[in-house]
Amino acid sequence: MADTLSSTKVGELLDQLASFHDDPLGFVMWAFPWGEPGTALEHRKGPEQWQIDQLRRVGEAVRAGGQAGCVVQEDTVAGRGVGKSALTSWWVLWAISTHKDTRGVVTATTETQLRTKTWAELSKWYAMFIAKAFFKLTATSIFVAGDPEKEKAWRIDAIPWSENNVEAFNGLHNNGSRLLILFDEASGIATPVWEGTRGVLTDADTQIVWLRYGNPTKTSGEFFNLCTKPGRNHVTRVDSREVSFTNKKELQSWVDEYGEDSDFVRVHVRGMFPRAGFANFISPELVFNARRRRIPEREYMIYPKVLGVDPARFGDDSSVITLRQGPKVHYQLVLQGFDGFDLGNRIFELVRKEGGVSCIAYDAIGNGAELDGVLKRMPGLPQLIPVTWGVPAGDDKQYANQRSEAWGKMREWLENGQIPDDDVLGEELTSLDYATDARFRIQLQSKKDAKKNGGKSPDRADSLAISLISELIVRKITNAKVRPVKRRTVVWSR
């Protein structure tokens, strides 16, 4: 090993590396030529403050774990150009060189991102690494050099993620040693990969360090949830203007052009998630407020009750019945394994129990065709409103189809409406992307595409949307004048 180094030098380097076993900050300051003339770091004294803080925190957690091992998880959401890839490179080199038989995996949103940015940055720091002679870096991995028997057990690999091949992440167990997992641009990594990775966190007597980095471009998914829900892992937010080497003039020009609180500046400069998302149709802010809004009884009792039904057959999807009364959703009933006959019977029971239900709106195509036939044969039901998502929207100048229009109405309704304080419903409401068609009309992401991208079918959100699209149809049929929801004084829950 390290044939080009003298035995004395080898011994000294090994001793130094061992001393940084639980001190990643000390390792980074020692391992690279900070401030040395003629090097790429000639004008750099060391890491940025946010990097120092994370290096120190992880080191403290590793020391606290001691021989019993530890599980360290952190999330970093940041603006552009703050040094995320540099820090991931330091983690790789620290992890593999200061602990025998370390294993690890690095992944990113796309294979191109992984190869041309994440791994390319590692190559740059590897070239400056004082102990690089002990390790070999290839296009897809870094492993201990000079010992073929150890190459498979002492290595860190760059692996593109695939929701259809999560075994690469399930098989990361490294009992009794060290395991490093790095997600770069974590917002684009699908849910099954996150779930597969969580399966390795139970190894005993193991140092497990799982770090996630990303720009706040998506207002849904695992990374968004981890960065926005309190009481979980440590979350770092980095403003690009607080980093020494960013182009402050360019950043200020973005602020001047778009505004300090614009979504563009929030994402690219401030390291904050957008209010409306760049592609997400409904903003987290709308949903957050609707979950905490408390509407006085007098404000919704003047409205008739409406049932909105999104039927599913079997599998992962659920049938959902929403009971809404004007600006308030009373509850959502989530059912699995119900065929059209079973679901029809449950709807019949609810109508009798609740009283005052004015109409039943339901998806009548696909899985809903059976329900449609069942309901039409039941006596004594209120007005039935079969909804066919794919048909042209009533407002066909703004929306490409009825489903897009229904979600558009739901987005407007959420400004003053009250929904259950339910994490699943909240995530579904903010989960769908949208685009525009050739006529510049809004085209909502389909359920099929949402599931293909690692999400789940938004059954609860669709059920609420169905209850709202019914109002448009009822008005046409009855020519009734329904008082619109106006801004009101509300009582906020603590």
Does 252 share its domain with 369? no
Residue 240 backbone phi and psi in degrees, to 5: -60, -30
Show which of 270, 294, 321 is a domain's final residue. 270
Does 256 share its domain with 303? no
Show which of 270, 300, 322 is a domain's final residue. 270
Task: State the pairing for strand pair 305-310/135-137.
Answer: unpaired
Let me know if residue 342 belongs to a domain. yes
Let me know if residue 332 belongs to a domain. yes
Please say whether the beta carbons of 485 and 471 come within 8 A: no
Q: What is the spatial distance between Cα 447 and Cα 11, in angstroms, rounded to a whole number?
A: 59
pLDDT digits (tens, 9 = 90+) for 186-216: 988 888 888 888 888 888 789 999 999 998 8
Does 249 share its domain with 299? no
Looking at residue 440, what is its pLDDT? Answer: 66
Does 218 share its domain with 310? no
Does 229 share its domain with 80? yes
Let me know if residue 2 belongs to a domain. no
Which of 214, 189, 215, 212 has its CA nearest to residue 268? Answer: 215
* CATH code of 405's domain: 3.30.420.240
Please say whether the beta carbons of 134 and 12 come within 8 A: no
Let me know if residue 475 belongs to a domain. yes
Let me know if residue 99 belongs to a domain. yes
Could you tell me which residues are beta bridge partners of residue 234?
74
* Residue 23 structure tokens: 């001190």
- Structural domain range at position 233: 7-270
Q: Which residue has the tokens 């229904």?
A: 406
Does 200 share its domain with 321? no
pTM: 0.60
Looking at residue 492, what is its pLDDT? Answer: 35
Does 444 share its domain with 313? yes
* CATH code of 19's domain: 3.40.50.300
Let me know if residue 203 belongs to a domain. yes
Cα separations in angstroms, 374 against 275, 355, 364: 42, 20, 11
Show which of 236, 270, 304 is a domain's final residue. 270
Q: Which residue has the tokens 């959100």?
A: 461
Residue type, 210: W
Q: What is the mean pLDDT of each run of 10 residues along the chain (494 residues)?
A: 62 92 97 96 96 97 87 94 96 96 89 86 97 95 91 91 64 80 89 85 88 87 85 88 95 84 82 68 83 93 94 78 96 91 94 93 89 93 90 84 90 94 89 68 72 70 90 50 38 34
Does 47 share its domain with 135? yes
Which of 364, 432, 447, 436 has its CA nearest to residue 400? Answer: 436
Residue 334 backbone phi and psi in degrees, to 5: -105, 125
Does 110 share its domain with 235? yes
Does 413 share its domain with 468? yes
First CA to last CA distance, the chain: 62
If one counts the domains in the chain, the total is 2
Does 257 share its domain with 290? no
Let me know if residue 169 belongs to a domain. yes
Q: What is the spatial distance between Cα 109 and Cα 161, in angstroms, rounded to a whole number?
A: 8
Does 255 share its domain with 394? no
Let me know if residue 339 belongs to a domain. yes
